[in-house]
């Protein structure tokens, strides 16, 4: 067992022991389609087009396509609806939020030296929320076989009883803390009472048909601030680079409830319980992009871009509370409340998310419209926690390498102009990052929008819809990994104001 280092300070426990898993890695590895309204309306297919503040996140050469200086901001409304199916019981929960999800600007410096082939230099700064974590999921149903007792048994078996009895919650590592909660919550019992005992049995009555509810409410964001530099050669070749700073702030509150009426004996056993957990993750990271756009003819554009791994430095804070009620065939006893009132603050750890290649094609129909296609590939199997020689991280990394795979993404966008009015439409398809294609399924998205050019000011409006299926285990570790099938529907409305100088 790894040594546990702690310091008590007003209810905080500082620990070197981590409890990260594959879901924590995927949270910061996947990017949702965000950005300006024009970008969203056209499905994000801007790798060969450029000329949009959000396009530089796909291909940094895109800022050199701008003719004039431009500044803009985007306000978005996110509506997420989760339909859950847990052992045949269907429930639904939704979340609605408004976010200023994009703001930035680009400055264009033209080179008027007729002898030089380098025609311009552009410098841009753009901020975007690459992920909006505001979400709510509620699942409920009757589990015919498994109780949460298996969660606590999965952690407790192998832990000496003396370690649990002789140490306060704050002095224990994460796994032993779960054994502590289960033991003092009367969910599990030791096989015998000697300090060396490391085997436990359940105090939840057998028989099946456990009614269970699981609530998951999260909020926060994953933001990216990009510093962009690009240039054009003979107005035929555009080259650019981004230096990106990433910001992570994520809070998740979960509450699991279970009850049963299986006990018909005079022996006290668990009849009801509620298990609450809170996770707060925060930190920052760095990545870079390089890319090029070739103007093959006046109509045909080709683009190629690479987005590096993102290297995060993250911190976790957790807290827990367990309330149990036990009883027998004559009634129930008063609740047991196991509330350590401790926030576990873990040492920082590193996460490397995968890089991405994007190849793009665009055809421009003069001044009347365009059609654009992007194809991207991302190897999620390269996701890693670091240091990689850490025994715990080595096991998690092996799991990710075995379960995750290459994911392809196709984005298609079109625009048609009627004088000062622009009509837009887009489609996006993203493959599952999992080899089984069910833990997180494929994503399909449709979008549309319009824009109006007032001259120095432009207004763009977009609507996008996306759908994805997933399987959510209520607890990713321990012996209880049952979960619900989730169908998630994303609705987004974005409004962008742009100003040209």
* pLDDT 10s digits, 322-371: 999 999 989 999 999 999 999 999 889 999 999 999 999 999 999 999 99
Compute the average pLDDT of residues 4-33. 69
pLDDT of residue 8 exceeding 50, the answer is no
Which tens digits make up the pLDDT trace of 57-85?
999 999 999 999 999 999 999 999 999 99
Please state, rounded to an integer, the average pLDDT across all residues of the chain. Answer: 93
435 in a structural domain: yes
pLDDT of residue 299 exceeding 80, the answer is yes
Which tens digits make up the pLDDT trace of 401-443?
999 999 999 999 999 999 999 999 999 999 999 999 999 999 9
Give Cα separations from 190 to 64, 104, 180, 380 (angstroms). Answer: 68, 60, 12, 41
pLDDT of residue 4 exceeding 50, the answer is no
Cβ atoms < 10 Å from Cβ of 363: 15
Q: How far apart are CA 50 and CA 286, in angstroms?
A: 23
* 7: confidence class by pLDDT, cuts 50, 70, 90: very low
57 in a structural domain: yes
167 in a structural domain: no
Compute the average pLDDT of residues 167-174. 94
By percentage, how much of the chain surpasses pLDDT 70?
Answer: 96
What is the per-residue pLDDT for 92?
97
pLDDT of residue 274 exceeding 60, the answer is yes
Compute the average pLDDT of residues 213-220. 97
Q: How far apart are CA 55 and CA 249, in angstroms?
A: 24
285 in a structural domain: yes
479 in a structural domain: yes
By percentage, how much of the chain surpasses pLDDT 90?
Answer: 88
Which tens digits make up the pLDDT trace of 440-498?
999 999 999 999 999 999 999 999 999 999 999 999 877 898 999 999 999 999 999 99
What is the per-residue pLDDT for 18?
60
- If one counts the domains in the chain, the total is 1
180 in a structural domain: no
Q: Is the pTM of this model over 0.95?
A: no
Compute the average pLDDT of residues 208-218. 96
Q: How far apart are CA 313 and CA 351, in angstroms?
A: 7
* 114: confidence class by pLDDT, cuts 50, 70, 90: confident
CA dihedral sign of residues 448, 357, 74, 110: negative
C-beta separation of 54 from 41 below 8 A: no
Q: What residue numbers bound the domain in which 20 lies?
A: 8-148+204-500
pLDDT of residue 5 exceeding 60, the answer is no
Instruction: Give me 227's structure tokens.
Output: 């510093």
Q: How far apart are CA 477 and CA 22, in angstroms?
A: 10
Q: What is the CATH number of the domain that holds 407?
A: 2.40.160.60
């Amino acid at each position: 067992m790894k040594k546990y280092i702690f310091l008590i300070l007003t209810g905080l426990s500082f620990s070197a022991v981590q409890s990260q898993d594959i879901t924590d890695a995927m949270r910061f590895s996947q990017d949702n389609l965000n950005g300006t309204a024009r970008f969203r309306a056209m499905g994000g297919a801007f790798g060969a087009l450029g000329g949009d503040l959000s396009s530089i996140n796909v291909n940094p050469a895109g800022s050199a396509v701008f003719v004039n200086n431009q500044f803009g901001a985007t306000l978005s409304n996110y509506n997420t609806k989760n339909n859950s199916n847990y052992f045949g019981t269907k429930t639904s929960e939704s979340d609605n939020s408004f976010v200023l999800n994009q703001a930035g600007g680009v400055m264009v410096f033209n080179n008027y030296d007729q002898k030089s082939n380098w025609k311009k230099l552009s410098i841009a700064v753009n901020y975007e929320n690459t992920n909006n974590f505001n979400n709510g999921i509620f699942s409920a149903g009757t589990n015919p076989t498994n109780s949460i007792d298996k969660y606590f048994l999965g952690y407790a078996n192998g832990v000496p009883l003396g370690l649990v009895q002789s140490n306060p919650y704050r002095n224990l590592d994460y796994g032993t803390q779960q054994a502590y909660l289960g033991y003092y919550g009367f969910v599990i019992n030791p096989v015998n009472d000697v300090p060396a005992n490391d085997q436990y049995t359940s105090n939840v009555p057998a028989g099946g048909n456990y009614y269970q509810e699981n609530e998951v409410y999260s909020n926060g964001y994953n933001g990216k601030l990009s510093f962009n530099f690009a240039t054009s050669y003979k107005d035929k070749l555009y080259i650019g680079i981004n230096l990106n700073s990433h910001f992570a702030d994520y809070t998740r509150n979960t509450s699991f409830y279970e009850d049963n009426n299986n006990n018909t004996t005079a022996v006290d056993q668990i009849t009801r319980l509620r298990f609450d957990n809170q996770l707060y993750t925060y930190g920052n990271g760095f990545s870079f992009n390089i890319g090029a756009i070739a103007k093959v003819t006046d109509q045909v554009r080709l683009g190629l871009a690479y987005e590096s791994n993102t290297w995060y430095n993250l911190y976790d804070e957790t807290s827990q509370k367990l309330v149990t009620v036990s009883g027998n065939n004559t009634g129930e006893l008063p609740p047991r409340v196991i509330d350590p009132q401790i926030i576990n603050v873990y040492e920082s750890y590193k996460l490397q998310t995968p890089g991405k290649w994007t190849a793009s094609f665009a055809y421009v129909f003069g001044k009347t419209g365009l059609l654009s296609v992007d194809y991207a590939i991302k190897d999620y199997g390269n996701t890693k926690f670091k240091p990689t020689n850490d025994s715990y991280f080595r096991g998690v990394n092996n799991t990710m390498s075995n379960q995750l795979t290459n994911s392809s993404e196709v984005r298609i966008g079109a625009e048609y102009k009627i004088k000062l009015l622009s009509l837009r439409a887009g489609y996006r398809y993203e493959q599952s990052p999992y080899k089984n294609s069910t833990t997180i399924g494929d994503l399909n998205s449709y979008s549309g929008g319009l824009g109006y050019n007032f001259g120095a000011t432009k207004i763009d409006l977009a609507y996008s819809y996306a759908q994805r299926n997933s399987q959510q285990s209520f607890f990713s570790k321990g012996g209880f990994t049952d979960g619900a099938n989730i169908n998630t529907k994303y609705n987004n409305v974005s409004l962008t104001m742009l100003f040209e100088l």
